[in-house]
Chain A
Amino acid sequence: MSKPLKQRPAQGPTGGVYKVDALKDLAESLNITLPDAVASALASDVEYRIHQVVEEAARFMRHGRRTTMTASDIDNALRVLNIEPLYGHTPYNPATFRRALPFPQSTSAGPVYFVEDEEIDFDRVLREEKITLPKGVTWNAHWLAVEGVQPLIPENPPAIPREAAPDPNAPAPDGTLANVMSADGKTSQAVPQVNGGSLPGANLAAANSKLTQQQQQQLVKQVLSRELQLYYARLTGSLLPPTSDFAKRTAALASLRSDAGLQALLPYLIRWVAEGVVGALKEGAHTDADGKVLEVLMDVVSALLENHALFVEPYLHQILPPVLSTLLHSSLPPSHATQLRTAAAQTLSRLLTQHSTTYPSLSPRIMKTLLLALISPGKNKGTREGAIRGLVGVGKEAVRKGLVEGGGAKVVSSECKNSSSRESVALLNTAMEALQVLQPPPSDMTDSLNRENPADHAIITKLVDLVGEHFAARIANDSAWAREIVGIAPTDS
Chain B
Amino acid sequence: MSAATPSSSHSPAAAASPANASQEVAPSLSPYDQAILDYLRARGHHDAEKAFLQEVVEGRTPDDKTKPPEEIGKDEFIRTLAVFAQKNSRPGENQLKDSGTVLQELTSMGNPSAIQNLIASIGAVGSEEVIAADPTDREEGFRELEAWVDGSLDMYRPEFRPILFPIFCHFYLDLIQKGFKDAAQKFYSTFSGSLLASHSATLHHLSTLLLPAHVQNDELAQRFMNEKYAIKMSRSGLSLLVGWLTEAFGGEAMGSGAGFVGEQGKRGRVAVMAVVNNHLSFQMTSTNPTAVSPNAWEESTGLLSSLIPQASGSTTNLTNPQAFNTGKGDLKLGPAPISEDLRTETERVIREQALLDREPVPYDIQMTRTNIPQGLVAPTEADLLPHPPTFKTIDIEREVSAVRDARKRIRLEPSALNNIDPNSSQATLQRSRALPSICAYTLHDVTEGSPCMTFSQDTSLMAAGFAESYIRIWNLKGDKLRGFRSDFQASSVKDVASLQKIREKKGSTTRKLIGHSGPVYSVAFDPICGSAAPPKYLLSGSADATVRLWSMDTLTNVVAYRGHENPVWDVKWSPMGIYFATGSRDRTARLWSTDRTTCLRIYAGHLSDVDCVQFHPNSLYLATGSSDWTARLWDVQRGTSVRVFIGHQAPVSCMAMSPDGRYLATAGEDLAINLWDLGSGKRIKKMTGHNSSIYSLSFSAESSLLVSGGADWTVRCWDVKGAGGLKTKAGENGVVEAVNRGSRNEETQGTSADLLATFPTKRTPITNVQFTPRNLCLAGGVYLSPEQR
Q: 10 additional contacts, CB 8 Å, given A63-B569, A63-B611, A70-B448? A: A11-B189, A48-B211, A65-B711, A65-B765, A66-B449, A76-B519, A143-B437, A147-B437, A160-B733, A162-B735
CB distance from B246 to the nearest CB of A (A): 32
The answer to whether B653 has its CB under 8 Å from any CB of chain A is yes
Name the B residues within 8 Å of A159 (CB-CB): 732-733
A2 touches B521 (CB 8 A): no
A137 touches B431 (CB 8 A): no
Residue of A41, A66, A155, A160 ringed by the most chain B CB atoms within 10 A? A66
B731 touches A41 (CB 8 A): no
Name the A residues within 8 Å of B452 (CB-CB): 65
The answer to whether A145 has its CB under 8 Å from any CB of chain B is yes
Which residue on chain A has the smallest CB distance to residue B789?
Answer: A68
Name the A residues within 8 Å of B789 (CB-CB): 2, 68, 94
CB distance from B719 to the nearest CB of A (A): 12
The answer to whether B645 has its CB under 8 Å from any CB of chain A is no
B451 touches A47 (CB 8 A): no
B207 touches A142 (CB 8 A): no
The contact of A139 among B211, B436, B444, B695, by CB within 8 Å, is: B444
Name the B residues within 8 Å of A147 (CB-CB): 431-433, 435-437
CA distance A155 to B764 in the complex (A): 11
CB distance from A217 to the nearest CB of B (A): 10
The contact of B435 among A52, A143, A148, A214, by CB within 8 Å, is: A148
Residue of A14, A134, A149 ringed by the most chain B CB atoms within 10 A? A149
A48 touches B462 (CB 8 A): no
From A54-62, A184-192, A193-201, give the one contacting chain B.
A54-62
The answer to whether A223 has its CB under 8 Å from any CB of chain B is no
The answer to whether A8 has its CB under 8 Å from any CB of chain B is yes
Name the A residues within 8 Å of B734 (CB-CB): 145, 148-150
Q: Return 11 A-B CB contacts under 8 Å, by A number.
A: A12-B207, A62-B611, A63-B521, A67-B711, A92-B447, A139-B462, A141-B442, A147-B432, A148-B717, A159-B732, A218-B423
The contact of A137 among B208, B445, B476, by CB within 8 Å, is: B445
A145 touches B444 (CB 8 A): no
The contact of A76 among B441, B567, B761, B765, by CB within 8 Å, is: B567
The answer to whether B394 has its CB under 8 Å from any CB of chain A is no
A67 touches B566 (CB 8 A): no
The answer to whether B2 has its CB under 8 Å from any CB of chain A is no
CA distance A217 to B747 in the complex (A): 28
Name the A residues within 8 Å of B646 (CB-CB): none
The contact of B437 among A134, A145, A163, by CB within 8 Å, is: A145
CA distance A104 to B114 in the complex (A): 68
The contact of A62 among B431, B445, B653, by CB within 8 Å, is: B653
Shortest beta-carbon contacts, A-B, top 9: A148-B435, A12-B189, A147-B432, A44-B210, A51-B208, A144-B440, A144-B438, A145-B438, A148-B431
Which residue on chain A has the smallest CB distance to residue B452?
Answer: A65
A144 touches B761 (CB 8 A): yes
Name the B residues within 8 Å of A6 (CB-CB): 692
Name the B residues within 8 Å of A48 (CB-CB): 208-211, 214
The answer to whether B109 has its CB under 8 Å from any CB of chain A is no
The answer to whether A208 has its CB under 8 Å from any CB of chain B is no
CA distance A76 to B476 in the complex (A): 33
The answer to whether B767 has its CB under 8 Å from any CB of chain A is yes
Name the B residues within 8 Å of A142 (CB-CB): 439-440, 442
Name the A residues within 8 Å of B450 (CB-CB): 65, 137
CA distance A106 to B192 in the complex (A): 35
CB distance from B734 to the nearest CB of A (A): 5
Name the A residues within 8 Å of B762 (CB-CB): 155-157
Binding site for B on A (CB under 8 A): 2, 6, 8, 10-14, 16, 41, 44-45, 47-48, 51-52, 55, 59-60, 62-68, 70, 72, 76, 80, 91-92, 94, 134-150, 155-157, 159-160, 162-163, 214-215, 218-219
Binding site for A on B (CB under 8 A): 181, 185-186, 188-189, 192-193, 196, 200, 204-205, 207-211, 213-214, 423-425, 428, 431-452, 462, 464, 466-467, 472, 474, 476, 510, 518-519, 521, 543, 566-567, 569, 585, 609, 611, 627, 651, 653, 669, 692-693, 695, 711, 715, 717, 731-735, 744, 756-757, 759-762, 765, 767, 777, 779, 782, 789
CA distance A145 to B735 in the complex (A): 12
The contact of B441 among A41, A60, A91, A141, by CB within 8 Å, is: A141
CB distance from A485 to the nearest CB of B (A): 54
CB distance from B685 to the nearest CB of A (A): 22
A160 touches B732 (CB 8 A): yes
Name the A residues within 8 Å of B186 (CB-CB): 14
CA distance A149 to B731 in the complex (A): 12
Name the B residues within 8 Å of A63 (CB-CB): 451, 519, 521, 567, 569, 611
CA distance A426 to B188 in the complex (A): 89
Name the B residues within 8 Å of A141 (CB-CB): 439-442, 476
Which residue on chain B has the smallest CB distance to residue A165?
Answer: B741
CB distance from B770 to the nearest CB of A (A): 13
The contact of B440 among A136, A143, A148, A162, by CB within 8 Å, is: A143
CB distance from B244 to the nearest CB of A (A): 28
CA distance A420 to B200 in the complex (A): 88
CA distance A41 to B181 in the complex (A): 10
Known: A59-B609, A67-B692, A157-B761. Is A10-B196 also a contact (CB below 8 A)? Answer: yes
B438 touches A137 (CB 8 A): no
Known: A144-B439, A149-B431. Is A65-B695 also a contact (CB below 8 A)? Answer: yes
Which residue on chain A has the smallest CB distance to residue B768?
Answer: A65
Which residue on chain A has the smallest CB distance to residue B197?
Answer: A10
B200 touches A8 (CB 8 A): yes
Name the B residues within 8 Å of A215 (CB-CB): 423-424
The contact of B181 among A44, A62, A160, by CB within 8 Å, is: A44
CA distance A72 to B717 in the complex (A): 34
CB distance from B787 to the nearest CB of A (A): 13
CA distance A80 to B584 in the complex (A): 12
CB distance from B424 to the nearest CB of A (A): 7
B210 touches A16 (CB 8 A): yes
B444 touches A65 (CB 8 A): no
Which residue on chain B has the smallest CB distance to residue A44?
Answer: B210
A148 touches B757 (CB 8 A): yes
Name the A residues within 8 Å of B569 (CB-CB): 63
CB distance from A463 to the nearest CB of B (A): 57
Name the A residues within 8 Å of B192 (CB-CB): 10, 12
CB distance from B57 to the nearest CB of A (A): 49
Name the A residues within 8 Å of B433 (CB-CB): 147
CB distance from A427 to the nearest CB of B (A): 46
CB distance from A298 to the nearest CB of B (A): 30
CB distance from A91 to the nearest CB of B (A): 6
CA distance A84 to B597 in the complex (A): 30
A59 touches B185 (CB 8 A): no
Which residue on chain A has the smallest CB distance to residue B448?
Answer: A91
CA distance A367 to B470 in the complex (A): 82
Known: A94-B789, A148-B757, A159-B733. Is A137-B444 also a contact (CB below 8 A)? Answer: yes
The contact of B759 among A45, A94, A136, A150, by CB within 8 Å, is: A150
Known: A44-B181, A143-B440. Is A67-B189 also a contact (CB below 8 A)? Answer: no
B448 touches A72 (CB 8 A): yes
Which residue on chain A has the smallest CB distance to residue B464?
Answer: A137
Known: A10-B193, A12-B207, A156-B761. Is A137-B443 also a contact (CB below 8 A)? Answer: yes
Name the A residues within 8 Å of B765 (CB-CB): 65, 67
CA distance A146 to B776 in the complex (A): 10
Name the B residues within 8 Å of A13 (CB-CB): 185, 188-189, 207-208, 210
B733 touches A150 (CB 8 A): yes
B521 touches A137 (CB 8 A): no
B423 touches A219 (CB 8 A): yes
The contact of B449 among A12, A16, A65, A143, by CB within 8 Å, is: A65
Which residue on chain A has the smallest CB distance to residue B446?
Answer: A137
A138 touches B443 (CB 8 A): yes
Which residue on chain A has the smallest CB distance to residue B467?
Answer: A64
CA distance A135 to B443 in the complex (A): 12
CB distance from B751 to the nearest CB of A (A): 15
